Amino acid sequence: MRVDILGVGFDNVTMDEAVARGCELLEQGGAHYVATPNPEIVETCRADAEAMAAVNGADLVLPDGIGVIYGAKLLGTPLRSRVPGIEFGTAMLAHCAETGKKVFLFGAKPGVAEQAARNLKKQFAGLQVVGTRNGYFADAESDAIAAEIRASGAELALVCLGAPKQEKWMARYGEAAGARLLLGLGGSLDVFAGVAQRAPEFYCKHNLEWFYRLIKNPSRAGRMMKLPLFLVHVAGEKRK
């Protein structure tokens, strides 16, 4: 059962449950994908019907941002846990290393996916990264990229194009890509490559990653304004 927050349905799962479900999907036939919306993405979905359909069409919709947790509580339909996309993705990569599943890394600037692959193979012994592709491409290239992922034999694909581009891509091309599970993980490849850093433990522990990112990159202020806007819309929904 999903918890509806402003039209986006979130799976009410813990991290362990999310990873267990991801592992199940990797064993099933067909194509599956995971979305990890935060309040900014929810606001984008409210204004973009295709994005809303793509997010809600995911096999798992995980509450990535603490604002989503606050919103659910305000609506009286609390979610049990925040499930950060990068932590979920890391757990899935560890599972792939243990079980011999093949991985494709798709997204970020040229060279980043390749560096991420090198770092991840050092971190997870036995991890098979069978292909990489940067996230700079024309829409007309999507069929060829999907064919490249299919030809690699990858069972798990990290699709790190930023929202809502990655969700729309997975919804449109996931089946053609041939991977059993695709994960929409935003800027995670930058972190895996060492190009960007996650917030220090203090900020993560106190759900202040958003504040750390704002300090490090003040140009994000405009995007950050979507969090209070999200909470205003949640409050309006509650009044209804």
| Confidence band of 234 (pLDDT split at 50, 70, 90) | confident
For 112-123, write each residue's pLDDT tens digit. 999 999 999 999
| Confidence band of 38 (pLDDT split at 50, 70, 90) | very high
Residue 210 Cα distances to 6, 165, 207, 216, 218, angstroms: 21, 21, 8, 10, 11
The pLDDT score that the predictor gives to residue 43 is 94
For 169-223, write each residue's pLDDT tens digit. 999 999 999 999 999 999 999 999 999 877 677 767 766 665 566 566 665 555 5
Q: pTM of the prediction? A: 0.92
Residue range 83-103: mean pLDDT, rounded: 98
32 pLDDT above the threshold of 90: yes
For 39-79, write each residue's pLDDT tens digit. 999 999 999 999 999 999 999 999 998 999 999 999 999 99
29 pLDDT above the threshold of 60: yes
